[in-house]
Amino acid sequence: MLGKLNHVAIAVPDLARATALYRDTLGARVSAPQALPGHGVTVVFVELDNTKVELLEPLGTDSPIAAFLARNPDGGMHHLCYEVEDIIVARDRLKADGARILGDGEPKIGAHGKPVLFLHPKDFAGTLVELEQV
């Protein structure tokens, strides 16, 4: 069911500072910031040869990232994103196996313009998992 690792997401308290660190200190290619109001975050992608690193900061007061940063004020690894061929088939199989889908269980459009779902971290070794349809 799983395809390749699409990205590792890191929540940061200051996106401009984190972007500068990756771009200027580490010499990485970093995308322009993209606000995603439906997800409550602003993101940039650090482009690597084999995957991406997503840096995300809260957008708005009800951002789901705000609570994470309250517990981890310096930021930290937030989730892993894996690619799947068909997100509905993957969702239905996971639900049948007892996995919990966050939100209303329906895919939303993510930062890459593709459908995404999030899986409950308690069902996946304490790690928030995002699935993205390729």
Q: What is the pLDDT of residues 72-129, one digit of tens each?
A: 999 999 999 999 999 999 999 999 999 999 999 999 999 999 999 999 999 999 999 9
3-state SS, residue 55: strand
pTM above 0.85, yes or no: yes
**Whether 54 is catalytic:** no
What topology is assigned to 2-133 in CATH?
2,3-Dihydroxybiphenyl 1,2-Dioxygenase; domain 1 (3.10.180)
Q: What is the pLDDT of residues 22-43, one digit of tens each?
A: 999 999 999 999 999 989 999 9
Structure tokens of 51?
């995957």
Nearest to 87 by CA among 121, 116, 59, 64: 116
Cβ(48)–Cβ(26) below 8 Å: no
CA 97/CA 86 separation, integer angstroms:
17
Strands annotated E in 60-127: 76-84, 108-109, 115-119
Structure tokens of 55?
């840096």
Q: What is the pLDDT of residue 132?
A: 98
Which of 54, 57, 83, 130 is catalytic? The answer is 130
